[in-house]
C-alpha cells in the first residue's frame, strides 16, 4: 500500500497530476476541494457551508474538513492506497490524519510537493477561470487571497512531514508529461 500527500499551492497541478498518478500506481484520488465542489453543486448543507469559505478563498474549518475526509477514506475500498490532494492543509489536519490512519494500521509514506512560482500560478488560475465556473477562480483578487492563505496557513504543513523525513519537492514547471515523469521517479524511489 502507498499513501501519498500531493502538496502545493493553488494551481500547482495537484489535480492534473493526481489523474496521471492514479493511472500509473493504481491509487485512489481523494481531493477535498472536489468533494466540497460536488456538495456545492448538489446544494447540500455541507456545500452551503463550504461555499461561504471557498468563494472568499478561505479554508473550510478543520473539524468539518477532517470529518469529511475520514468518511471518504472509510467509504473507499482502495487496496493500493490513496493520493490525498488538498489535504492536509493545516497542521491540525495533518495530526488528525496520522491518528486516523494509525487506527486503520495505515500511514502516509510521503508528501510530494509541486513547486511553482507565484506568477505562473496566477496565470494558470486566471486562464482556467475563463471557463471553469469555479467561484474561487473568478478574479485575481480571490486568487491572490487563496495564495495568501496557502502561505500563511498551509505552507507550514511541509515542516510536519520534514520532521518525519517524508518531504520531497518536485519542480512543477514544464509540460504535464515531464512533471508526471518527475513525480513517478520520486515516488518510485521511496524506500
Ligand atoms: P482545492 O480544490 O484543493 O483547490 P486549490 O488547492 O486551490 O488548487 P486547484 O485545484 O486550483 O489547483 P491544483 O493544484 O489542483 O492544480 P490543477 O491541476 O487544477 O481547494 C479549493 C478550496 O476548497 C480551498 O481554497 C478551500 O477553501 C477549500 N478546501 C479544500 N481542501 C481543504 C482543506 N483540506 N481544508 C480547508 N479547506 C479546504 O491545475 C490548475 C490549472 O493549471 C488547470 O487549468 C490546469 O489545466 C493547469 N495546469 C496544470 N498543470 C500545468 C502545467 N504543467 N503547465 C501549464 N498549465 C498547467
Ligand atoms: Mg485541484
The share of the chain scoring above pLDDT 90, in percent, equals: 97
Q: What is the DSSP string of 124-173?
A: HHHHHHHHH--GGGSSHHHHHHHHHHIIIIITTHHHHHHHTT-EEEEE--
Residue 169: per-residue pLDDT: 98
Residue 31: per-residue pLDDT: 98
Average pLDDT over residues 113-135: 96
Sign of CA pseudo-dihedral 5, 81, 134, 57? negative
Q: Which of 155, 157, 164, 170 is nearest to 191 (CA)?
A: 164
Query: Is the model's pLDDT at 127 over the cut of 90?
Result: yes
Of 16, 36, 115, which is best to mutate to test ligand 1, by the most ligand atoms within 8 angstroms of its C-beta?
16
Q: Which of 85, 110, 99 is nearest to 162 (CA)?
A: 110
Confirm or reject: Cβ of 154 under 6 Å from ligand 1.
no
Confirm or reject: Cβ of 39 under 6 Å from ligand 1.
no
The CA distance from 101 to 166, in Å, is 16
- In degrees and rounded to multiples of 5, residue 107 shows phi and psi of -155, 165
Residue 179: per-residue pLDDT: 98
Of 13, 57, 151, which is best to mutate to test ligand 1, by the most ligand atoms within 8 angstroms of its C-beta?
13
What pLDDT band is residue 5 in, cutting at 50, 70 and 90? very high
What pLDDT band is residue 166 in, cutting at 50, 70 and 90? very high
The shares of helix, strand and coil residues in the chain, as percent rounded to the nearest 5, are: 60, 10, 30
Q: How far is C-alpha 14 from the chain's CA centre?
A: 6
Residue 62: per-residue pLDDT: 98
- CA distances (Å), 119 to each of 57, 66, 161, 168, in order? 17, 31, 26, 23
Confirm or reject: Cβ of 179 under 6 Å from ligand 1.
yes
Residue 150: per-residue pLDDT: 98
130's CB contacts (< 8 A; 6+ apart) are none
* Nearest ligand to the CA atom of 14: 1
The CA distance from 157 to 178, in Å, is 26
Helix ranges, 55-151 (H): 62-75, 91-103, 118-132, 140-149
Confirm or reject: Cβ of 129 under 6 Å from ligand 1.
no
What pLDDT band is residue 158 in, cutting at 50, 70 and 90? very high
pLDDT by residue (tens digit) across 41-96? 999 999 999 999 999 999 999 999 999 999 999 999 899 999 999 999 999 999 99
Residue 144: per-residue pLDDT: 97
Rounded to the nearest whole angstrom, what is the distance from the C-alpha of residue 15 to the centroid of ligand 2? 4
Query: Is the model's pLDDT at 191 over the cut of 90?
Result: no
Could you identify the residue written with the cell 488538498?
86
Could you identify the residue written with the cell 457551508?
49
The share of the chain scoring above pLDDT 70, in percent, equals: 99
What pLDDT band is residue 15 in, cutting at 50, 70 and 90? very high
Confirm or reject: Cβ of 3 under 6 Å from ligand 1.
no
Q: Which residues are known catalytic residues?
A: 14, 89, 128, 134, 146
Residue 59: per-residue pLDDT: 98
Amino acid at each position: 500500500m502507498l499513501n501519498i500527500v500531493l502538496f502545493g499551492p493553488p494551481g500547482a497541478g495537484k489535480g492534473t497530476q493526481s489523474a496521471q498518478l492514479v493511472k500509473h500506481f493504481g491509487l485512489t484520488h481523494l481531493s477535498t476541494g472536489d468533494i466540497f465542489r460536488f456538495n456545492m453543486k448538489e446544494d447540500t448543507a455541507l456545500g452551503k457551508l463550504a461555499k461561504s469559505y471557498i468563494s472568499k478563498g478561505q479554508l473550510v474549518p478543520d473539524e468539518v474538513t477532517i470529518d469529511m475526509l475520514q468518511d471518504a477514506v472509510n467509504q473507499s475500498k482502495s487496496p493500493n492506497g490513496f493520493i490525498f490532494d488538498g489535504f492536509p492543509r493545516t497542521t491540525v489536519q495533518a495530526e488528525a490524519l496520522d491518528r486516523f490512519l494509525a487506527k486503520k494500521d495505515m500511514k502516509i509514506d510521503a508528501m510530494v510537493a509541486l513547486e511553482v512560482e507565484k506568477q505562473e500560478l496566477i496565470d494558470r488560475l486566471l486562464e482556467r477561470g475563463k471557463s471553469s465556473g469555479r467561484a474561487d477562480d473568478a478574479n485575481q483578487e480571490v486568487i491572490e487571497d487563496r495564495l495568501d492563505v496557502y502561505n500563511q496557513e498551509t505552507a507550514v504543513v511541509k515542516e510536519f512531514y520534514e520532521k518525519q523525513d517524508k518531504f520531497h519537492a518536485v519542480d512543477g514547471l514544464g509540460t504535464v508529461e515531464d512533471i508526471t515523469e518527475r513525480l513517478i521517479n520520486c515516488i518510485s524511489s521511496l524506500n
